[in-house]
Structure 1
């Protein structure tokens, strides 16, 4: 059987990816602070393995503990492949450099960058089956956006980690594949957070309000389908940064 580990699956893109995986009869493990009860019910109806791990990804000790437990759960199941979707992410603090809240800044780096690095490291070290790891990135990793210095920096770091770790696995002749996925602009809670910021903190505020008003935000399930189709139907290129516009 195939399994998927998905962080940030309580809502938005993560929830949509989990729903699609369950529909494909792929066992799902979700990792987030709160559980999406609808996923449990969907798994029950589809007779698919499901388990939730409550974890604050901003706390390294919780990441370590939970992923060691996840490995213990999966070990006896003899999975043929494990999909790992490092999806959890935060946009805050939205502020210009010089006005950043340090606690929010630390949480941003922990969740957006350190957690996926730790998760990948733990699984590569201990997993005995092929891994297909997806690090959810952003177009913000490739260009400066005023007010998003933390978000841009962590996503850029995640892209570089993806490319480097993938190259290492290829050199080692390992069966594991690692890619990044840029999902574009979606109609999620994160967009709501962006629109609620101030013009002083975020220079492109009006542009992002227009995205919503003009119906330019893709539904999360459309983006999720593009990613899952890539993983299930295509031969992925390890180390590549895939962009949703190339897949839809």
Structure 2
């Protein structure tokens, strides 16, 4: 019998895939929401005897994804799971350039995937499980860039800052309820992913902070996706999870 229901966005690559692999367990019902399926993850789940579903959804159309999640949850018996967790991990970085040079088509995906989707999915998850007796948590994967302004990163920084602040607001709301959920918007540190490659390959004329990111790589200061995933999931298991609704794994 599965005792822990876990939704994870962006679980098909990068740190999201590393988290998905580490979450595979016979007692976990893992549901990954991403644009693409990951066949290797499916094979790993089968080998581990771990329940896994991979929903192919476009988080750039977040209302549809939230409706699918809500509809699925409402069909589940309220006492089926001891724990229920939503991990909003997916994010999109638009072209690294000043806001004035970017188009709406370039900016919109970053805001929809990075901010609107987590907010709508959180609303759907909390609303559909409000009467469940299960322990409920929402873990939003934020970034230090949500707390530090950076040129040529306006959309990404704004999406993460918005994620931090809506987490603060919803944590206050849930604290007023008898069985309210615990929420945390967590910065996972600096990770060696495709996003870091994108930052290091940016146009130096458009991105004044390029050298900082090049130095992180050259000085071996980046966590692997697997290392970062382990730190994030360890935070999720902390007894004081949600006490601080905005946190950083480097505070541990």
TM-score interval for Structure 1 and Structure 2 normalised by the shorter chain: over 0.9
Q: What SS does structure 2 have at the residue aligned with 1:71?
A: helix
Which residues of 2 match residues 76-115 of structure 1 at below 5 A?
A: 78-115=80-117
* Aligned pairs, number: 247
- Structure 2 unaligned spans of 5+: none
TM-score (norm 2): 0.91
Partners of 2:92 and 2:75 in 1: CA distance: 28
- Alignment match of 2:181 (pick from 154, 161, 176): 176
Say which is worse superposed, 53-62 or 141-150, in terms of deviation.
53-62
Say which is worse superposed, 21-30 or 144-153, in terms of deviation.
21-30
Other-structure match for 2:128:
126
Do the aligned partners of 1:167 and 1:239 also contact (CA within 8 Å) in 2?
no
Which residues of 2 match residues 149-228 of structure 1 at below 5 A?
A: 149-228=154-233
CA RMSD of aligned residues (A): 1.8
Q: CA deviation at 1:238?
A: 4.1
Q: What SS does structure 1 have at the residue aligned with 2:207?
A: coil
Partners of 2:62 and 2:137 in 1: CA distance: 22
- Structure 1 unaligned spans of 5+: none
Q: What SS does structure 1 have at the residue aligned with 2:47?
A: helix
Q: CA deviation at 1:239?
A: 4.7
Q: What SS does structure 1 have at the residue aligned with 2:37?
A: coil
Other-structure match for 2:119:
117
Partners of 2:186 and 2:47 in 1: CA distance: 30
Say which is worse superposed, 126-135 or 108-117, in terms of deviation.
126-135
TM-score (norm 1): 0.93
Moved over 3 A (4+): 72-77
